[in-house]
Structure 1
């Protein structure tokens, strides 16, 4: 069995733009693994109605549900946050449990928030039969965070399949319930590290699979030249983090996690937020958590496309978009972007001194807005 395929992948310790140019560093995802896709239907309308944070929570919940199952089964899995959905690659051993949990998550989103979360999966072997490719490696992004990097078109094909059909997955006959323990949404909108700077959300898609390595390496090199490295262009700094004090947001988080409004949980969540203000400033473990948070935030993802949220000046944006437009006119890529004044975080925290990862989007549904331009 290859349940430990992803765990056993070698970690690359060179910059992503260099990794992308070396095909020997990538391995094919095993045929008996599976691609799970979730996607909020009509997310553009939901974002336009001011529900972008709920859409982000639904996407985050998709990943958290599968991560909790994977951790229970001691399996390591790659995942990608898309703002209005998620893509998770899992082995057969946890597929049924994940789909079962995600259908419960789907029902909860429908009944409590009145939007439909598409949920589906496909076998990697079926994507290979269709001629798709799916190659993966792991890259050390910084001292704390290792991310999956994917080349190929299988994930995009799987997402397109889910969006183009309405296959309904029935709940399996198993006792497993939806477990979103660890999902948190305690941070308010986050201003850029430098006053008067902006947040740029970008989606970049090479015009063919064969072009991905060279195009994405070139794009990331240009981005680094214009904005600086990942750390320098990162939208999150400790100084700009502010905890929410909105009862409405706390209620939504509880509804998303427990399917019903449990006031005990709302009260407990409010207390945790209040206590955390002191704890994160005065306790060594709390201060360490804050220090780690920016490095453990998903600000750059390569899943066959480039998805990233960065901070900089309007002049830097104009320079980068000029370069991207030239590459588009050369037939190398398509791109979509959205500019906002702040970014938003949703989080998965198993314990303040244990595993935590944070999912980043531009405010007002940055990834959703960027994807609209990508399709033009």
Structure 2
């Protein structure tokens, strides 16, 4: 059996997000690793058509498929709203290619969504003058998330969109293993004014020191918000029955079985969870209210992904200050940015087990925040 590369396992965890504005907290990936990227074709159009929850589910499916393909082994990944980025050592290259190919054919078969997927050697990224550096942010005692810096993931995504490094879809009927992928939580209404989605990227040739100062100012402003701008309430997101995402989750998890049976299973499990949260009753050692609190603690509402991404529950004054900082930095030629506002945030989850604390939860704006912000960064009207 091939020994796994210990690089990622040995990375120290950073517990304060404001430290991740500093480039020296990021460590270069080993030379023989690969960067995986994915995105949904015409995600902006799908969001505008009201399919933002589907876009998020399909985007997160890549991470779910990779987690299951690697049998729970830790690897760096980041959720981007309509896609994902990740990195794997050479011994996991074949598993990554297979998982990406299966997700692409599944997305088309289940939802009629075209998905681009690619795997790019780190050597090619560096030959192009970019880099892939990674850090681990410990959001709670049970979960940490990878953070990326160096421009390499963005470069890989641009190459994928240009047709390079493409992985063709798997054979028709192929199914990725999406065990644990779910979206049962209710939308989280803004408590302080609006849900503000923010994307910030440095422009080519920008000074690392100046860009770091911009990130610092945005992060400092966000930390002044209630709970640092976390969109989930302290007690966790709410639940409703039936859950809005039941049909989507059934599409993700039915495999070769009946879609109707999968939907009934989702509805039954969601009803039990809803009842336990409402009553506080514990079942077989499972404390649903504690689990809901952990969902909020484990969520990824802020991240570094070759830039800065945040989904904030934001008051009007702070929003004005953040947008003023971003506008000035863009005018000075240091960064590019996009923002989007909406009334709610939403959550897509990967839950290996409800009895452990290693479940991960991806937050985005409830109207497709990161996708809309990215479109505005590129100058498209939405």
Partner of 2:294: 292
Tell me the distance in 2 between the aligned counterparts of 1:325 and 1:81.
Answer: 25
- Residue pair 2:40, 2:83 contacting (<8 A) in 1 also: yes
Structure 2 counterpart of 1:282: 281
In the TM superposition, 1:355-374 aligns within 5 A as: 355-374=358-377
Name which of structure 1's ranges 209-218 and 154-163 shifts more when overlaid on structure 2: 209-218
Is the contact between residue 148 and residue 305 of structure 2 (CA under 8 Å) also seen in structure 1? Answer: yes
Distance 1:156 1:91 in 2: 19
User: For the structure 1 residues 247 and 20, does the alpha-carbon distance in structure 2 shift closer, same or farther, using more than 3 Å as the test?
Assistant: closer
Asked whether the equivalents of residues 253 and 262 of structure 2 are also in contact (C-alpha less than 8 Å), the reply is no
Query: CA–CA distance in 2 between the matches of 1:341 and 1:300?
Result: 18
Which residue in the other structure is 1:29 paired with?
29
Specify the alignment match of 2:10 in structure 1. 8
d(CA) in 1 for partners of 2:164, 2:20: 37
Alpha-carbon contact 1:190-1:240 (below 8 Å) kept:
no
The aligned counterpart of 2:316 is 314
Q: Which runs of 5+ in 2 are unaligned?
A: none
Aligned to 2:106: 108
- Of 249-258 and 345-354, deviating more is 249-258
| Residue of structure 2 equivalent to 1:264 | 261
Q: Which runs of 5+ in 1 are unaligned?
A: none
Taking the aligned partners of 2:245 and 2:221, their CA distance within structure 1 comes to 38
Change (3 A) 1:171 1:310: closer
The 1:245/1:287 distance shift into structure 2, 3 A limit, reads: closer
Matches within 5 A, 1:80-229: 80-165=78-163, 169-170=167-168, 178-192=176-190, 194=191, 197-208=193-204, 211-212=207-208, 214-225=210-221, 227-228=223-224
Task: Please give the alpha-carbon distance, in whole angstroms, between the structure 2 residues aligned to 1:239 and 1:11.
Answer: 25
Mapped to 1, the partners of 2:139 and 2:226 lie a distance apart of: 8
Q: Which runs of 4+ in 1 moved over 6 A?
A: none
Q: Distance in 1 between matches of 2:134 and 2:349?
A: 24
SS in 1 for 2:241: coil
> Is the 2:130–2:152 Cα contact (8 Å) retained in structure 1?
yes
- Separation of aligned partners in 2, 1:22 and 1:251: 42
TM-score, normalisation: structure 2: 0.89
TM-score, length-scaled by structure 1: 0.90
Tell me, what secondary structure is at the counterpart of 1:256?
A: helix
SS state at 1:7 partner: coil
Structure 2 equivalent of residue 48 of structure 1: 48
Q: Deviations over 1:190-216 (max 9, x none)?
A: 112x2x521000000111365345424
Q: Deviations over 1:8-48 (max 9, x none)?
A: 112234x343344362x432101111111110001011111
Q: Cα 1:145–1:218, aligned 2, differ >3 Å: closer, same or farther?
A: farther
Contact 2:336 2:377 in 1 (8 A): yes
3-state SS of 1:294 partner: helix
2:232 aligns with 236
Tell me how large the CA RMSD over aligned residues is.
2.5
Which SS does the other structure have where 1:150 is aligned?
strand
What SS does the corresponding residue of 1:291 show, helix, strand or coil?
helix
Q: Is the 8 A contact 1:227 1:312 kept in 2?
A: no
CA contact (8 A) 2:189 2:345 kept: yes
Inter-CA distance 309–107: structure 2 relative to 1 (3 Å threshold): same
Following the alignment from structure 1 to structure 2, what is the Cα–Cα distance between the partners of residues 41 and 220?
Answer: 33
Contact 2:58 2:82 in 1 (8 A): yes
